[in-house]
């Protein structure tokens, strides 16, 4: 059981600074997702927490313990790798017991621990096999088993699901969530998949270019993104960004539409309005009744992409392309003019110069 | 009756005939080339079993009319080389005493170097590796005089131990190159996982890296064994007489001051000298080809 505190962590490889002072803290038992595009420094940060990468400056605490100079094996952590990193010449049992062997845990304790983990993950029948004889999902389980058997105070996951096919990935996602609920261990989970981050984490740390962009609860990150990057990165399809000008009664978009949303204090003349695809509705008596503040906007349909339950529609609004997400029965059929209702209360307004949320 | 259907189709029959002709040409050519390559070996093998008068009468290249084994016994145990009539058995053993330790030591060092240079990189490790690579391109003759001097200083001149040292050092470039390039393909995550599991430098090497290594170790051992066994220059320059390896003794045998050229004994001697590398290839050749191409296709 432990908290994790990172203070102003920096990492440079030669002249290249890949982490530019990251500060974040995880409470005991929390599930933190580090998310960001590749090259944002999230894996480096995880490696630094694990002790696999030296920290250039700053501090990392596990509990009250400053671990900057502590080697990985003494940090009381366990890690699951993207490639699973199973030892290819050892059986599943040997893979799981390797760490205990290194630590000279008595044989009887080892057997008990293997039994416990194998039953827990339902891999009892695989113990005598080699990793090469396992399917992707089974390898994933064994990799988790190797981490679980340590019963560490901190779990680290480095994109553990990205090598699995879509269906298995969703299954394992649920299992990781269950696992975390049962064990209640502090967990840091690196992923580039924002859906994984949203579904698993108690708090999400969004990183970009070596800097922490936002660190907050998933719902907050989604509905009140701190800046344009977070707004564009979280959510699929991505948030629509519409440039506009501030007027007395609201924000005027480039095509002339006036959104009756008063610009927040501190807004300069120009702003960017961010609105998520699901907050764009077909204008009908029903939707207008449900969203009385909605602004009616006319747009031209360009592409219709049905995905089953809902349909993604790409439309043109003056110069800008916007994406809407409609229930299948509400979707336009093809290229036609549609009248939309922007649920403007849900929109975010950004400063185009600083890119920050206003 | 798929065959019958094709047999009725003239185009299919023509294609089949073209394929057949193709095969005949290919295998015919391959056969001719392997014959050309194997013919000298066949001549040597036959001559080692032909009595000397027969060789004199019917010429060097001819089939044996009668078989005798005395040339082999002579070459092994009694033939006079450099004035000592003990045959080649001592030199054969010298070569074994030289080749086996030198092969084992240089392979172990190469594996360790490769492991460090690929998995425990440090500031300047790439430069170090480049320097070691130079050893692959620098011809051994260049090091001949320095070696003679150094062995003298160490008190190892004219000794098998000295030759072992020379071959270990001369071989490190190659063994390091082989092993390093193989180990580069081992995912770094494996090493990271082991470090978190509490394994250190040696435990990771013994328990994780070495068990994956047989393909490259076999390549290295074959390469080193045949290379060191067949090496002549260092052997002939740095040792003399009873300390010489078999390659040097073979040349001495061919140059023995007798009036008659003992082609039968020479042939047997050459073959005795060629047996160990042949055996090594015979048992490891399959892995050799496999190991050399490993990592190339991924």
Residues A101, A30 share a domain: yes
- The answer to whether residue A102 neighbours chain B at the CB level (below 8 Å) is yes
What range does the domain containing A58 cover? 4-233
The tally of domains found in chain A comes to 2
- The answer to whether residue A82 neighbours chain B at the CB level (below 8 Å) is yes
Distance CA(B294)–CA(A250), nearest Å, equals: 67
Distance CA(A262)–CA(B141), nearest Å, equals: 86
Q: Would you say residue A355 lies in a domain?
A: no
Boundary-marking domain end, from A214, A233, A252: A233
Of B193, B198, B199, the CB nearest to A79: B193
Residues A120, A10 share a domain: yes
What range does the domain containing B59 cover? 2-68
Boundary-marking domain end, from A206, A233, A260: A233
Question: Which tokens is B32 given?
Answer: 């001719």
Q: Would you say residue B73 lies in a domain?
A: no
What residues in chain A have per-residue pLDDT under 70? 1
Residues B130, B12 share a domain: no
Distance CA(A29)–CA(A202), nearest Å, equals: 10
Distance CA(B159)–CA(B289), nearest Å, equals: 34
Residues B204, B267 share a domain: yes
Of B198, B211, B212, the CB nearest to A73: B198
pLDDT recorded at residue B128: 92
pLDDT recorded at residue B259: 62
Residues A255, A184 share a domain: no
Residues B217, B128 share a domain: yes
Residues A162, A244 share a domain: no
ipTM for the complex shown:
0.84
| pLDDT tens track for A22-74 | 999 999 999 999 999 988 889 999 999 999 999 999 999 999 999 999 999 99
Q: Would you say residue B126 lies in a domain?
A: yes
Residues A306, A183 share a domain: no
Contacts of B225 (CB under 8 A, 6+ apart): B99, B103, B276, B277, B280
Distance CA(A240)–CA(A243), nearest Å, equals: 10
Q: Which residues of A touch B205 (CB under 8 A)?
A: none
Residues A181, A319 share a domain: no
Residues B95, B6 share a domain: no
Can the peptide bond before residue A33 be classed as cis, meaning omega within 30 degrees of 0?
A: no
pLDDT recorded at residue B298: 30
Distance CA(A310)–CA(A317), nearest Å, equals: 21
What residues in chain B have per-residue pLDDT under 50? 1, 295-298
pLDDT recorded at residue A228: 94
Chain B nearest C-alpha distance from A206 (Å): 24
- The answer to whether residue A281 neighbours chain B at the CB level (below 8 Å) is no
Q: Would you say residue A299 lies in a domain?
A: yes
Distance CA(A97)–CA(A129), nearest Å, equals: 14
Is A85 close to B208, i.e. CB distance below 8 A?
no
Residues B150, B23 share a domain: no
| Model confidence, pTM | 0.82
Residues B156, B12 share a domain: no
| pLDDT tens track for B109-160 | 999 999 999 999 988 999 999 998 888 888 888 989 999 999 999 999 899 9
CATH number at residue B210: 1.10.3720.10
Is B207 close to A71, i.e. CB distance below 8 A?
no
CATH number at residue A320: 2.40.50.140
Residues A175, A26 share a domain: yes
Residues A55, A14 share a domain: yes
- The answer to whether residue B187 neighbours chain A at the CB level (below 8 Å) is yes
Residues A227, A266 share a domain: no
The tally of domains found in chain B comes to 2
Boundary-marking domain end, from B12, B39, B68: B68
Residues B116, B6 share a domain: no
Of A83, A85, A88, the CB nearest to B212: A88
Residues A270, A214 share a domain: no
Q: Would you say residue B183 lies in a domain?
A: yes
Residues B133, B16 share a domain: no
Q: Would you say residue B80 lies in a domain?
A: no
Q: Which residues of B touch A89 (CB under 8 A)?
A: 208, 211-212
Distance CA(B128)–CA(A109), nearest Å, equals: 45
- Counted across chains A and B, CB pairs separated by less than 8 A come out at 58
Distance CA(B11)–CA(B3), nearest Å, equals: 14
pLDDT recorded at residue B297: 35
Q: Is B253 helix (H, G, I), strand (E, B) or coil?
A: helix
Contact B123, B129 (CB under 8 A): no
Residues A39, A85 share a domain: yes
Chain A nearest C-alpha distance from B285 (Å): 23
| pLDDT tens track for B90-109 | 999 999 999 999 999 999 99
Angle between helices B246-254 and B89-119 (to 10 degrees): 140
Q: Would you say residue B77 lies in a domain?
A: no
Residues B140, B203 share a domain: yes
Testing the interface with B: which of A50, A80, A85, A145 to mutate, by most B Cβ within 10 A? A85
Boundary-marking domain end, from A233, A263, A295: A233
Maximum distance among all Cα pairs of chain B, rounded to whole angstroms: 84
Residues B113, B48 share a domain: no
Chain A nearest C-alpha distance from B171 (Å): 29
pLDDT recorded at residue A61: 93
Contacts of A239 (CB under 8 A, 6+ apart): A225, A231, A232, A274, A275, A276, A277, A348
């Amino acid at each position: 059981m432990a908290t994790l505190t990172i203070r102003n962590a920096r990492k440079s490889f030669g002249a290249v600074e890949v982490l530019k002072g990251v500060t974040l803290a995880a409470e005991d038992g929390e599930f933190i997702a580090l998310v960001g595009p590749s090259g944002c420094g999230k894996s480096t940060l995880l490696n630094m927490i694990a002790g696999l990468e030296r920290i250039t400056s700053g501090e990392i605490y596990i509990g009250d313990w400053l671990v900057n100079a502590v080697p990985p094996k003494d940090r009381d952590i366990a890690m699951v790798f993207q490639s699973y990193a199973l030892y290819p010449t050892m059986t599943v049992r040997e893979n799981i017991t390797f760490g205990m062997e290194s630590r000279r845990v008595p044989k009887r304790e080892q057997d008990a621990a293997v039994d416990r983990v194998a039953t827990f993950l339902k891999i009892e029948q695989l113990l005598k096999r080699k990793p090469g004889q396992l399917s992707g999902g089974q390898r994933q389980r064994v990799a988790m088993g190797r981490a679980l058997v340590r019963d560490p105070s901190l779990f680290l996951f480095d994109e553990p699901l990205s090598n699995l096919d879509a269906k298995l990935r969703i299954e394992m996602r649920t299992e990781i969530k269950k696992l975390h609920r049962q064990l209640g261990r502090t967990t840091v989970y690196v992923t580039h998949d924002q859906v994984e981050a949203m579904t698993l984490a108690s708090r999400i740390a969004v990183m970009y270019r070596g800097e922490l962009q936002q660190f907050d609860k998933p719902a907050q990150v989604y509905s009140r993104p701190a800046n344009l990057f977070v707004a564009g990165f979280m959510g699929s399809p991505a948030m629509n960004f519409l440039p506009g000008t501030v007027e007395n009664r609201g924000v005027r978009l480039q095509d002339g539409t006036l959104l009756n949303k008063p610009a927040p204090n501190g807004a300069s003349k120009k702003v960017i309005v961010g609105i998520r695809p699901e907050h764009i509705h077909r204008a009908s008596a029903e939707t207008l009744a449900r969203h009385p503040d909605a602004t009616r906007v006319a747009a031209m349909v360009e592409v219709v992409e049905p995905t089953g339950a809902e349909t993604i529609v790409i439309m043109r609004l003056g110069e800008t392309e916007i994406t809407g997400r409609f229930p299948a029965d509400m979707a336009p059929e093809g290229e036609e003019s549609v009248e939309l209702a922007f649920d403007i209360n849900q929109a975010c307004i950004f400063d185009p110069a600083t890119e920050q949320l206003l | 009756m798929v065959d019958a259907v094709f047999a009725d189709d003239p185009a299919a029959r023509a294609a089949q005939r073209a394929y057949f002709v193709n095969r005949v040409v290919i295998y015919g050519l391959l056969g001719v080339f392997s014959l050309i390559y194997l013919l000298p070996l066949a001549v040597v093998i036959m001559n080692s079993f032909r009595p000397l008068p027969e060789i004199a009468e019917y010429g060097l290249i001819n089939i044996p009319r009668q078989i005798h084994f005395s040339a082999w016994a002579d070459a092994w145990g009694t033939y006079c080389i450099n004035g000592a009539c003990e045959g080649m058995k001592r030199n054969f053993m010298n070569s074994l005493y030289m080749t086996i330790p030198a092969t084992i030591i240089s392979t172990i060092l190469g594996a360790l170097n490769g492991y460090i240079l690929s998995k425990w990189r440090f500031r300047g490790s790439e430069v170090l590796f480049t320097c070691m690579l130079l050893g692959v391109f620098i011809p051994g003759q260049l090091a001949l005089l320095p070696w003679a001097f150094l062995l003298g200083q160490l008190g190892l001149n004219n000794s098998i131990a000295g030759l072992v040292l020379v071959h270990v050092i001369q071989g490190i470039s190659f063994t390091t190159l082989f092993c390093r390039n193989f180990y580069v393909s081992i995912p770094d995550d494996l090493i990271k996982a082991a470090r978190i599991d509490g394994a250190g430098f040696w435990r990771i090497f013994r328990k994780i890296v070495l068990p994956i290594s047989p393909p490259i170790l076999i390549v290295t051992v074959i390469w080193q064994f045949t290379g060191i066994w067949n090496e002549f220059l260092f052997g002939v320059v740095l040792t003399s007489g009873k300390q010489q390896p078999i390659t040097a003794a073979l040349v001495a045998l061919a140059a023995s001051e007798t009036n008659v050229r003992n082609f039968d004994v020479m042939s047997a001697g050459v073959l005795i000298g060629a047996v160990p590398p042949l055996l090594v290839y015979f048992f490891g050749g399959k892995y050799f080809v496999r190991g050399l191409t490993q990592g190339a296709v991924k």
